[in-house]
A and B are shown apart, each in its own frame.
Chain A
Amino acid sequence: MKAEGKQAIWKEYQKEIADDKYFYVRSCVRQNFFPGSETTFLRILREELGKDIYEHACHTTCTGIGYHGDIVPVDTMMTVVARQFAMMTEAGYENLVPSCITSFGIYTEVMDTWHHFPETEQKVRDYLWKATGREFQIPKNLAHASDIVFKFRKEIAAKAKYQLINKETGKPLKVVEHIGCHYAKMFPDKGIGGAEYPYVLTGMIEEWGGEVIDYPERRHCCGFGFRQYLVQANRGYSMSCSHKKFESMKPYQPDLILTNCPGCPMFLDKWQYAIAELEGKTYGANGQGIPVFTYEELAGLMLGYNPWDLGLQMHQVSCEPLMDKIGIEYNSETKYHDKNGNSLGVPEKPTVLKVSL
């Protein structure tokens, strides 16, 4: 059958995603701020889907934050990336799965640069050999971790204990999705749905019962801006970007925000706290914020995992209002327990933002 009209356009923005045998590389931000998300991703792939996903202890950062903070030169970044490729090759894998959107963008940029400027690839091969004695194959398939969850969204839905449906009204929950700039803005054909009509998170939301809100600032940056957040003097930029998004989404009364990039959920969570404390303004119901989730956390919730094993207790904006709407069972008393069930105490409450402890 010949693809026509919207079908033909959509075809341009689909991508091939490997079915199995993945080499996993961790994220600088996700490890520190959302460790439960990386743990949950591996758990879902191994325990629910029976996939082979491998991690090598000696892999490192891709240098992405340093590269986009402009302290790491392009040749250095490309050679560190080549070392990651070498570790993948040596381990016998061909499918690379980064846990970070900026890493995904960097790997894409490197492969695109080598394609258009083959002399740069040779230069990097020489650098890597001189520095480490390693050689590498370029990945056969590059997919962000969320691409994998998207690919298996129906399998996850089939095993799910919960859906994105309000248990009182029976209506789909309203979800704001945020795919992160470096997923598709630089190379739209490498992201599912591209940059203008991103589908990677939308596909999950629709499959799991929710409804996506298409609001005016849907595509605006969360405000990381690398140096614009890393340096305290510049953080007005960062907060103003998130603020612009909150103001734009507020009239639609979203039940949750779903994110793709490791940094975005941290900013969209923490800037709600900061804006509340500075301006007295909150964006959720009853003085609370709009809960913000990673796609791994949401998949884990749908599968009925304990929310405190997913790491939802690390959010500043409480996730309980969303769990209550769905009817997810949880035990508030064990929220701040260690793995042996001992209480760690409770965090202090913010002054303005209302939270559930």
Chain B
Amino acid sequence: MQDVRFQEGLKACINCGTCTAICAAASFYNYDPRSLVDTIQRRDDDEIIELLKSETIWYCGECMSCKTRCPRGNTPGLVIMALRAMSQDLGYFVESEKGRQQLAIKRTVGQWILDHGYCLYLEGVGTNLHPEQGPIWDFIQKNWKETFERLGGNYKGEGPGILRKIPEEALDEIRKIFDITGGTERYENIEKFSKLKAQELNLELKDGIDNEYFRHIYSNNNQSHERE
């Protein structure tokens, strides 16, 4: 409970429910930020551990609409971020279907940050993983070099510009920052607990994204999450 986001995000909630009324996640999932904040406010450790293992804390989209409208200036979205950090540090995230997805985010976005310096990598966001990008994206992926060249890109080029190659010394600095500040430890924790869960579920988990466990967590939806 030392996370600065608990202090910023929660000051004497009055249970008015405005956050739930405005919440994008609450209109789609079985989710109620008002009751979640109420649970945290009670400071009952058993209830909080239950939350850390639950699907509930993974429903928020972090749009932070709750911040704008809360009459007390609270931010349930920030509280969620602190809970998600705890759930991953303690290994509880693998106990829920939605929580297990953290490995998929770590192995895509997380890896791209370290390898390419940005959260997205052009060759990693094809229509195989993102079919909703449509036939136009298929076409661009087929012609990415020419398309980006025409639009002023510098794909994997030296110097500044769109989608340039980030110099190795800059990537080294980012990796060192991750090592020193707990980013690497978070990644290793996600890997460690995911491997244990994969064994328990008897699903194959190899490096990268082409394996049974990754495909399972990336696409499986047990249909119990959404509102009626």
Q: Across the interface, do A195 and B68 meet the contact criterion of CB distance under 8 Å?
A: yes
- Interface status of A182 (Cβ within 8 A of chain B): yes
Q: Known contacts A36-B152, A60-B170, A234-B98; is A75 also within 8 Å of B181 by CB?
A: yes
- Interface status of A315 (Cβ within 8 A of chain B): yes
State which of A71, A132, A348 has its C-beta within 8 Å of the C-beta of B106.
Answer: A71
Q: Across the interface, do A74 and B119 meet the contact criterion of CB distance under 8 Å?
A: no
Report B-chain residues with C-beta under 8 Å of the C-beta of A308: 150
Report A324-348 CB contacts with B as 1/0, cut-off 8 Å: 0000000000001111001011111
Question: In this complex, what residue of B is CB-closest to A266?
Answer: B133
- Interface status of B8 (Cβ within 8 A of chain A): yes
State which of A35, A55, A130 has its C-beta within 8 Å of the C-beta of B160.
Answer: A55
Q: Across the interface, do B181 and A73 meet the contact criterion of CB distance under 8 Å?
A: yes
Give the Cβ gap from B5 to chain A, nearest Cβ, in Å: 7
The CA-CA distance from A71 to B61 in the complex, in Å, is 14
Give the Cβ gap from B194 to chain A, nearest Cβ, in Å: 12
Q: Across the interface, do B84 and A70 meet the contact criterion of CB distance under 8 Å?
A: yes
Report B-chain residues with C-beta under 8 Å of the C-beta of A143: none
State which of A36, A64, A131, A233 has its C-beta within 8 Å of the C-beta of B180.
Answer: A131
- Interface status of A199 (Cβ within 8 A of chain B): no
Pick out which of these stretches binds chain A: B46-54, B199-207, B218-226: B218-226
Q: Across the interface, do B177 and A128 meet the contact criterion of CB distance under 8 Å?
A: yes
Report B-chain residues with C-beta under 8 Å of the C-beta of A314: 136, 140, 147, 151
- Interface status of B20 (Cβ within 8 A of chain A): no
Q: Across the interface, do A348 and B139 meet the contact criterion of CB distance under 8 Å?
A: yes
Question: In this complex, what residue of B is CB-closest to A57?
Answer: B160
- Interface status of A224 (Cβ within 8 A of chain B): yes
Q: Across the interface, do B177 and A127 meet the contact criterion of CB distance under 8 Å?
A: yes
Interface residues on A, range: 35 or more
Q: Across the interface, do A223 and B24 meet the contact criterion of CB distance under 8 Å?
A: yes
Question: In this complex, what residue of B is CB-closest to A105?
Answer: B64
Give the Cβ gap from A76 to chain B, nearest Cβ, in Å: 4
State which of A120, A235, A240 has its C-beta within 8 Å of the C-beta of B132.
Answer: A235
In chain A, positions 204-243 with a C-beta closer than 8 Å to chain B are: 219-221, 223-228, 230-237, 239-241
Report B-chain residues with C-beta under 8 Å of the C-beta of A336: 139, 143
Report B-chain residues with C-beta under 8 Å of the C-beta of A113: 4, 8
Of B24, B137, B147, B178, the most chain A CB neighbours within 10 A belong to B24
Q: Across the interface, do B101 and A39 meet the contact criterion of CB distance under 8 Å?
A: no
In chain A, positions 263-290 with a C-beta closer than 8 Å to chain B are: 270-271, 273-274
Report A55-95 CB contacts with B as 1/0, cut-off 8 Å: 11111110111101111111110111001000000000000
- Interface status of B208 (Cβ within 8 A of chain A): no
Q: Known contacts A226-B62, A240-B28; is A58 also within 8 Å of B221 by CB?
A: no
In chain A, positions 103-142 with a C-beta closer than 8 Å to chain B are: 105, 113, 116-117, 120, 127-128, 130-132
Report B-chain residues with C-beta under 8 Å of the C-beta of A195: 68
Q: Across the interface, do A236 and B28 meet the contact criterion of CB distance under 8 Å?
A: yes
Report A-chain residues with C-beta under 8 Å of the C-beta of B150: 308-309, 337-339
Q: Known contacts A83-B173, A221-B24; is A315 also within 8 Å of B136 by CB?
A: yes
Q: Across the interface, do B147 and A344 meet the contact criterion of CB distance under 8 Å?
A: yes
The CA-CA distance from A35 to B158 in the complex, in Å, is 17
Pick out which of these stretches binds chain B: A2-10, A25-33, A148-156, A169-177: A25-33
Pick out which of these stretches binds chain A: B11-19, B34-42, B182-190: B182-190
Q: Across the interface, do B68 and A185 meet the contact criterion of CB distance under 8 Å?
A: yes
Report B-chain residues with C-beta under 8 Å of the C-beta of A274: 132, 134
- Interface status of B212 (Cβ within 8 A of chain A): no
Q: Across the interface, do A237 and B61 meet the contact criterion of CB distance under 8 Å?
A: yes
Q: Known contacts A57-B167, A73-B181, A73-B183; is A185 also within 8 Å of B117 by CB?
A: no
Report A-chain residues with C-beta under 8 Å of the C-beta of B4: 74, 113, 117, 120
In chain A, positions 284-320 with a C-beta closer than 8 Å to chain B are: 308-309, 311, 314-316
Cross-chain pairs A/B with CB under 8 angstroms, 28 sampled: A32-B120, A35-B152, A35-B163, A60-B166, A65-B120, A66-B113, A71-B186, A71-B187, A71-B190, A72-B113, A72-B186, A76-B186, A79-B181, A80-B174, A83-B173, A113-B8, A130-B180, A181-B64, A182-B64, A185-B67, A195-B68, A220-B24, A226-B61, A228-B61, A232-B129, A232-B219, A345-B139, A346-B139
Closest 4 A/B residue pairs (Cβ)? A225-B61, A39-B152, A347-B139, A76-B183
